[in-house]
Structure 1
């Protein structure tokens, strides 16, 4: 028996793409905007719920498409209120998203790939290897399907994967998220983190006005290369040149993420070189505590050491913050996302 080919997914399609769909199916062009309204405003899960579209056209649409919404298969709550969600995507792979509540904001950290190619020494996601890119719909499904979705105020592309290694789908998801016919979010509520994928960064800087966070972690080329193999093909020097040439007027911001490791990147010389490298770029430096992961010979810096490093940077004129660690008890903190164990165990428990 010939297997039925998978239906295409509507979630994640832009208004232009939806217009192509309805035109090809012989429907009126205005149907595209109706579908967008059902997907992104009313957030339906089934085509049959799109009641202002004729029954005949809903049936026709259903022959070729499905909405593409899926609920998380598990969730885990931290002592500090952080909640980690596990999603199974269409390929069968698993990805995690993390909800982080704060006094004045409700942030969702979303994934863009199953695993990651970058293989940063300090990151659990890279240790599981790379299993594929998420579609725009699979990225948006995380935003729409977590329990806290209605109260989200901020989205950060800082979960599993390197977002700009999947630039086309990530940029499509941002387009839907920020469009008036989509989710209608302000770009200023969205931040994307990258190690500095050149072609993807060019597109991100040119096609969006969302905030940028650069994973830096060591200002010296050799030191960064030891932590981040991507430095070989995507040197920090190139990334900084692109940022200097980009338009960061208005409210758009750039920040630099710096996980601090004891005895590795925490000296006065590191602070001085970091200050020299970033001179002339209006930015914030976020210092991040390291979370110990198995088999990695890196150690976290003490709280006193973090404050000392922060002081050196502030003395050189940089706005510097020490990021509060969230969700460490459920392996939801920076660098700890990995579905390796769930993949091995074939996580199949229901959402709770």
Structure 2
């Protein structure tokens, strides 16, 4: 990755047209560049063969495509693959490719190096925060994925809090869904959040992608212990915000709920969840907890998870138990971390 040059990846069509004019090329060349990048996934400017050699040289002097292949891959016994991608800042992020049945494949992308939220149960939060990913860094996880042509869905549930890097996440999702970009339906993309209220409001209004909220407890005091963000933005206020929008059609609202044995799996929690989400058109994904070092939490047993699912479903909230994937390579929910993967330390 040539960090001294500006990446073309992550630029909008209008920006590419303006760039073309700024270096003495006709504006329509910007459209050609967009097709080479977003349509054909070229890895170098020299591959843009319908752009003249002189114009390619002019472009290459200050710009680069901005893509970089993963430098490491770990393969799970269940088919999940965890990739390590370099960023333009010289750090690294983990991205998880999850093949599923019926030709479905999901990519879990990261939006930050580390995370500020410091949730008790999340390994990413333990590494601290090392910076936001650029739109090019985010898109490169899709662009340079070896299986990119097999993808059917993208979830922003990797490292980082997407709403804490909102401008770059919005730019990335806009390019993924733009007719001149990847041209994906926004219904194939889900963006998660702990519930940063003001930024969540902006995301809902500026994007049509699905929304997933990390819930993990419906009780304020307990959620604050699990998720420090609750102290600044209570989940009841987040839910009130969500009730202002229509999720009854194609756009989906879901809540992620990691189930901790003896902590948030009681009948009281089930009743409080129903009370909290009353009036919202939404679904809940129950997630198994994956043990991380130094955290006094453990997963709930199958009986408790099934009882919670059945109660919520019986009370009108469609609820599923999400299958755990990639746990043997530390790719499952809450396990992503690149604390020791810096440019100086290498692998």
TM-score (norm 1): 0.95
Structure 2 distance, partners of 1:149, 1:5, is 23
User: Could you tell me which residue of structure 2 aligns to residue 7 of structure 1?
Assistant: 5
- Deviation per residue, 1:133-163 (Å, 9 max, x gap): 1111111110111111111000000000001
- SS of corresponding position for 1:287: strand
Q: Distance in 2 between matches of 1:300 and 1:15?
A: 47
Q: Distance in 2 between matches of 1:152 and 1:178?
A: 14
Gaps of 5+ in 2: none
Cα distance between partner residues in 2 of 1:208 and 1:344: 34
Which of the residues 14, 20, 23 maps onto 1:22?
A: 20
TM-aligned CA deviation for residue 340 of structure 1: 2.0
Distance in 2 (alpha carbons) for counterparts of 1:115 and 1:222: 25
Taking the aligned partners of 2:343 and 2:146, their CA distance within structure 1 comes to: 26
CA contact (8 A) 2:211 2:252 kept: yes
Question: Per-residue displacement from partner, 1:63-100 (whole Å, max 9, x unpaired)?
Answer: 11111110000000001000000011111111000011
Structure 2 equivalent of residue 50 of structure 1 = 48
After superposition, give the CA deviation of every residue in 1:249-270 in whole Å (9 maximum; x if it has no partner): 4300000000011121111111
For residues 215 and 344 of structure 1, the distance between their equivalents in structure 2, rounded to whole angstroms, comes to: 32
Residues 91, 343 of structure 2: 8 Å contact kept: no
Which residue in 1 is equivalent to 2:334?
335
CA distance in 1, matches of 2:343, 2:328: 21
Cα distance in structure 2, aligned partners of 1:133 and 1:85? 18
Q: How far 1:329 moved relative to its partner?
A: 0.3
The DSSP-based 3-state class of the residue aligned with 2:243 is helix
Instruction: Give the Å deviation of 1:238.
Output: 2.2
Q: Distance between the aligned counterparts of 2:309 and 2:249, measured in 1?
A: 27
Deviation at 1:341, TM superposition (A): 3.9
Q: Decide which moves more: 110-119 or 59-68.
A: 59-68
Q: TM-score, normalised by structure 2?
A: 0.96
2:161 equivalent in structure 1: 162
Aligned to 2:178: 179
Counterpart CA distance in 1 for 2:15 and 2:220 is 42
Give, in whole Å, the separation in 2 of the partners of 1:152 and 1:347: 29
Match in the other structure for 2:130: 131
Task: Describe the SS at the equivalent of 1:342.
Answer: coil
Task: Give, in whole Å, the separation in 1 of the partners of 2:17 and 2:212.
Answer: 34
Q: Structure 1 regions of 5+ residues with no counterpart? A: none
Secondary structure at 2:307 match in 1: helix
In 1, are the aligned partners of 2:247 and 2:282 still within 8 Å (CA)?
Answer: no
Aligned counterparts of 1:31 and 1:88: Cα–Cα separation in 2: 29
Aligned residue for 2:149?
Answer: 150
The 1:249/1:315 distance shift into structure 2, 3 A limit, reads closer
**Within 2, Cα distance between the matches of 1:278 and 1:249?**
14
Could you tell me how far apart the structure 1 residues matched to 2:139 and 2:343 are?
26
The corresponding residue for 2:262 is: 263
Identify the match of residue 67 of structure 2 among 66, 69, 84: 69
Q: Which runs of 4+ in 1 moved over 4 A?
A: none
**Alignment correspondent of 2:242:** 243
Q: Distance in 2 between matches of 1:21 and 1:225?
A: 47
Closer/same/farther in 2, CA of residues 317 and 5 from structure 1, 3 Å limit? closer
Name the counterpart of 1:319: 318
Shift of 1:20: 2.2
- Structure 1 pair 5/190, CA: closer, same or farther in 2 (3 Å)? closer
- Deviation string 1:308-329 (CA, Å, 9 cap, x unpaired) is 1112212212111001110000
From the superposition, tell whether residues 153 and 299 of structure 1 become closer, same or farther in structure 2 (CA, over 3 Å).
Answer: same
SS at match of 2:341: helix
RMSD: 1.5
